[in-house]
Amino acid sequence: MHSAQQHPGNSQPLNLLEAINRALLYAMEDDDKVVVFGEDIATNGGVFRATEGLKERFGFRRVMDTPLAENLIAGLAVGMASQGLKPVAEIQFMGFIYATLEQLISHAARLRNRTRGRLGCPLVIRAPFGGGIHAPEHHSESTEALFAHIPGLRVVIPSSSARAYGLLRAAIDCPDPVLFLEPKRLYRLQRLPVELDSDPLPLDRCFTLRAGEDVSLISWGAMIHETLAAADRLAEDGIKAEVIDVATLNPLDRDTLVATASKTGRVVIVHEAPFTGGFGAEIAATLASDALMHLLAPIERVTGHDCPMPDFAMEPQYMPSVERIVAAARRTLEY
Amino acid sequence: MFTSTPYALYQCLPALAADTDWPRLVSGYRHMTLIRTFDKKAVNLQRTGKLGTYASCLGAEAIGTAGGMALHDDDYFVPYYRDHATQYLRGVPLHQILQYWGGDERGNAFPSDTAAARDLPNCVPIATQLPQAAGIATKAKLGREHAAVLATCGDGATSRGDFYETLNVAGVWQLPLVVVVNNNQWAISVPQHLQTASKSIAHKAEAAGIEGLRVDGNDLPALLDVLDYALDKARHGKGATLIEAVSYRLSDHTTADDASRYRKASELHAAWQREPVARLRQALVDADHWDAAREKQWLADCQQQVDAAVDTYLNQPPQAPTDMLDFLYAELPDSLKPQRAALAQQAGGRHA
Ligand SMILES: Cc1ncc(C[n+]2csc(CCOP(=O)(O)OP(=O)(O)O)c2C)c(N)n1
Ligand SMILES: [Mg+2]
């Protein structure tokens, strides 16, 4: 771990993108096994600038522009990780991540298991995901549920600068493969203080962002912001919402979810991804079995629709809104 | 000394030069016969229900043996699934090779005191091992290890994007990588001419800007020459090589396949005339480095070694059912504890 002397200043106002950049920088300073690569990440610093300055600081040997081949990028990472390097690879957008699936499912996620612990696979794949920035076709999807179904692959999604920093440091330290999905709508949204010397955050715990007794609002990624806004709106009417950021989809912190549902008895799950087979279904199923006796209303899911992510002209109609979340919460209260 | 002639088929047998390294060839011959004995036994174990589906290496003994002999301990080996000879020479005990094909992951936990400890396990999803080999080669290069990575695949694998992506990056990054294609003419039932219109598989190196060589895959001394050259080149930072080793799959694709459905008996018969073990034996006998008495003794030794391995394999204790979760993550996540508790109630797993 890095020390206070190494990174003075420790609490800095950073947006989420800058927090990612600092996490990469300090992880590379602290451990020379960390290497960073992907498309346009070296000289250009990444299309979003997440890796800006790293090539200048560490050189081409540890910060590499790859040929344009996502399957290759994932395979390189598996090979390096199998021999003890800590590769942090960027996939430029989640819409182009699918070529990595075979490497992730058939290799990264099972290497330790199939060698009975002989070879590990401590890689991190980072990818910006989600809508709301008026990006071109294929640049806005949220397909996290596909990856959360892969045993052995951790799926981590930050929703603030501090969690982006702490979770990425933890992901890089982690001996297991991690898919780190960055809500790009939040990249430059706001600068908030980030403790650069804090301990890494846990990779198997939900974060309770706000405590409340009346209804549980459960979400992750960029939708946390609509969810918090909905909690504010409900508070105006004296309704106290508990807000949970799931943050790590796999492994899932079922205990925190069951506890909040058992406390409030009313649950609204919010995600940007389509409804059917979305990760909200897994959470709803968990609560339906493990918190059944405490539930006072049917579990609500506020999600994207079961269609391909629309091109940006219709994004507002697709994305869950504060209004939809508030309405769902009221339905649980009026049930 | 081998001099590279891109795309020309390189052969040594039957006429071996006077300055041939005879002890090396004799030891290569011994390895090849051992692995052939092993292979025959493995097929029999499958037929009698004591092994799962098994991919025979009949006809690939020279390729696998040459790889194992040319690699140094601090090189890396990235196999596909017909590389039992190389795996054995890297230090994987025969019983562990059986254990893998017997459906038991412990077969991939290669002994930590062997060169194999760092090697990747068998790779079933075709060609997916190749980008990983490029990753390992990148690691070797970044660490200035002066080590080479040897990766293998079949002719069918050369149709996949993984193959091209790997050669491409190996060219751009000057990786210490050697890719050997065991061109055994068939990808299950699909013959070469339905796989590619390229003049040869070695020619596929051209687009990547790396060297492409062709070698007789039934010719151990030729394979050793080419591999020594390419691995040495890799270790000295002089770039990657694609080697097409022209062989023939003398077996069915696996024990689950029946090659008579798609392949002419006459073709198989012709291929047996060029098979690697008899060819090398003849050359060694002709040069007075091998004889019938030694052959008899060595085959008996092989049988004994293989029988002992089978014995060890069949007498492994079952795995704990909890093993299927205990090695998945470095540390068992809390969320999996209930599933682990349920598994702990079950009896252990069996062979095949
Ligand atoms: C990606 C993928 N597709 C299909 C298969 C099924 N399969 C197994 S082996 C094989 C043929 C491989 O042929 P080749 O690469 O020539 O190797 P060989 O078995 O002949 O040595 C196929 C299609 C697979 N294992 N992986
Ligand atoms: Mg083949």
Provide the shortest C-alpha distance from residue B21 to chain A (in Å): 34
- Ligand 1 site, residue B220, Cβ cutoff 6 A: no
Nearest-CA residue for atom 18 of ligand 1: B154
Residue written as token pair 């699934």 = B81
Band (A5; pLDDT cuts 50, 70, 90): very low
Instruction: Give percent helix, percent strand, percent coil of chain B, each to the nearest 5.
Output: 50, 10, 40
Does A3 fall in a domain? no
> Which of A137, A165, A195 is the last residue before a domain boundary?
A195
Least confident of A274-278, A287-291, B5-9: B5-9
The closest ligand to the CA of B183 turns out to be 2
- Give B158 Cα–ligand 2 centroid separation in angstroms: 10
- Give B254 Cα–ligand 1 centroid separation in angstroms: 10
> Which tokens is A163 given?
């969690």
The predicted pLDDT at position B1 comes to 62
Q: Do both A94 and A58 map to the same domain?
A: yes
For the annotated catalytic residues of B, the residue numbers are 249, 253, 262
For residue B169, the chain A residue with the least C-alpha distance is A67
- Ligand 1 site, residue B156, Cβ cutoff 6 A: yes
What are the helix (H) ranges across chain B?
Answer: 22-47, 61-70, 84-90, 94-101, 129-142, 161-172, 192-195, 220-235, 265-272, 276-286, 292-314, 323-326, 337-344
Q: Are B110 and A117 a contacting pair at CB < 8 A? A: no
DSSP letters spanning A266-313: -EEEEEEEESTT-HHHHHHHHHHHHSGGG-SSPPEEEEE-SSPPPPGG
Into how many domains does chain A fold? Answer: 2
What separation in angstroms does the CA of B163 have from each of A81, A102, B128?
20, 14, 8
3-class DSSP assignment, residue A127: strand
Of B120, B169, B334, the CB nearest to A67: B169
Q: Nearest to residue B285, comparing CAs of B29, B64, B103?
A: B29
pTM to 2 decimals?
Answer: 0.96
CA terminus-to-terminus distance, chain B: 47
Pocket test of ligand 1: the residue of B56, B188, B247, B255 to mutate, having most ligand atoms within 8 Å of its CB, is B188
- CB neighbours of B64 closer than 8 A, spacing ≥ 6? B35, B57, B82, B83, B84, B85, B86, B89
Of A72, A74, A174, the CB nearest to B166: A72
The predicted pLDDT at position B351 comes to 56
> Which tokens is A129 given?
């995901």
The predicted pLDDT at position B151 comes to 99
Nearest atom within ligand 1 for CA of residue B184:
20
CB atoms within 5 A of ion ligand 2 belong to: B 154-155, 184, 187
The predicted pLDDT at position A4 comes to 38
Residues in chain B, pLDDT under 50: none
Does A78 fall in a domain? yes
B-chain residues near A151 (CB < 8 A): 328
Q: Do both A82 and A172 map to the same domain?
A: yes
> Which tokens is A203 given?
């990779």
- Give B253 Cα–ligand 2 centroid separation in angstroms: 8
Instruction: Give percent helix, percent strand, percent coil of chain A, each to the nearest 5.
Output: 40, 20, 40
User: Which residues, listed in sequence order, are joined to residue A124 by a DSSP beta bridge?
Assistant: A88, A178
Q: Do both A253 and A161 map to the same domain?
A: no
The residue type of A231 is A
Q: Do both A160 and A36 map to the same domain?
A: yes
Provide the shortest C-alpha distance from residue B125 to chain A (in Å): 8
The predicted pLDDT at position A292 comes to 97
Nearest-CA residue for atom 3 of ligand 1: B126
pLDDT above 80: residue A2: no
Provide the shortest C-alpha distance from residue A318 to chain B (in Å): 32
Which long-range CB contacts under 8 A does B254-262 form with residues at least 24 apart?
B254/B53, B254/B54, B254/B55, B254/B56, B255/B43, B255/B46, B255/B47, B255/B53, B255/B54, B255/B56, B256/B53, B257/B188, B259/B186, B259/B189, B261/B189, B262/B189
Strands, E, within chain A: which ranges?
11-14, 34-38, 63-65, 86-90, 124-129, 154-156, 178-183, 192-195, 207-210, 215-219, 241-245, 248-250, 267-274, 300-304
Cα atoms found within 13 Å of the Cα of residue A73, Cβ hemisphere only: 29
Domain that holds residue A267: 207-334
**B172 has a chain A CB within 8 A of its CB:** yes
**B76 has a chain A CB within 8 A of its CB:** yes
Average of per-residue pLDDT across A1-22: 76
Does A202 fall in a domain? no
CA A134 from chain centre, in angstroms, equals: 20
Q: Nearest to residue A249, comparing CAs of A205, A208, A216, A290?
A: A205
Pocket test of ligand 1: the residue of B126, B158, B201, B254 to mutate, having most ligand atoms within 8 Å of its CB, is B126
Class of the CATH-defined domain B9-318: alpha beta
Nearest-CA residue for atom 13 of ligand 1: B187
Q: Report the 10 Å Cβ neighbour count for B271.
A: 18
Q: Do both A87 and A170 map to the same domain?
A: yes
Tell me which DSSP letter residue A246 carries.
-
Q: Do both A163 and A262 map to the same domain?
A: no
- Give B187 Cα–ligand 1 centroid separation in angstroms: 6
Per domain, the residue ranges of chain B are: 9-318, 320-352
The predicted pLDDT at position A198 comes to 84
CATH number (domain holding residue A139): 3.40.50.970
- The b/e string for B61-75 (b: 16+ C-beta within 10 A; e otherwise) is bbbbbbbbbbbeeeb
- CB neighbours of B100 closer than 8 A, spacing ≥ 6? B107, B108, B121, B122
pLDDT above 80: residue A192: yes
Is residue B222 a contact partner of residue B192, using CB atoms and an 8 Å limit?
no
Mutation for testing the A interface, residue in B106, B327, B331, B343 having most A CBs under 10 Å: B327
Q: Do both A187 and A211 map to the same domain?
A: no
- Give A131 Cα–ligand 2 centroid separation in angstroms: 45
Is residue A241 a contact partner of residue A210, using CB atoms and an 8 Å limit?
yes
Q: Do both A219 and A313 map to the same domain?
A: yes
> Which of A151, A174, A195 is the last residue before a domain boundary?
A195
Mutation for testing the A interface, residue in B119, B165, B174 having most A CBs under 10 Å: B165
The predicted pLDDT at position A7 comes to 57
User: Computed over its alpha carbons, how large is the radius of gyration of chain A?
Assistant: 20
Q: What's the length of chain B?
A: 352
The predicted pLDDT at position A274 comes to 98
Average pLDDT, chain A: 96
The predicted pLDDT at position B352 comes to 52
For residue B162, the chain A residue with the least C-alpha distance is A72
Q: Do both A62 and A124 map to the same domain?
A: yes
> Which of A146, A168, A195 is the last residue before a domain boundary?
A195
Q: Do both A244 and A154 map to the same domain?
A: no
Nearest atom within ligand 1 for CA of residue B127:
1
Of A76, A83, A116, the CB nearest to B105: A116
Provide the shortest C-alpha distance from residue A63 to chain B (in Å): 11
Tell me which DSSP letter residue A63 carries.
E
- Ligand 1 site, residue B184, Cβ cutoff 6 A: yes
Is residue A116 a contact partner of residue B323, using CB atoms and an 8 Å limit?
yes
The closest ligand to the CA of B253 turns out to be 1
Provide the shortest C-alpha distance from residue B128 to chain A (in Å): 7
Q: Do both A183 and A214 map to the same domain?
A: no
Q: Do both A120 and A157 map to the same domain?
A: yes
CATH number (domain holding residue A272): 3.40.50.920
Question: What pLDDT digit, counting tens, does each position of B179-214 carry?
Answer: 999 999 999 999 999 999 999 999 999 999 999 999
B-chain residues near A67 (CB < 8 A): 165, 168-169, 172
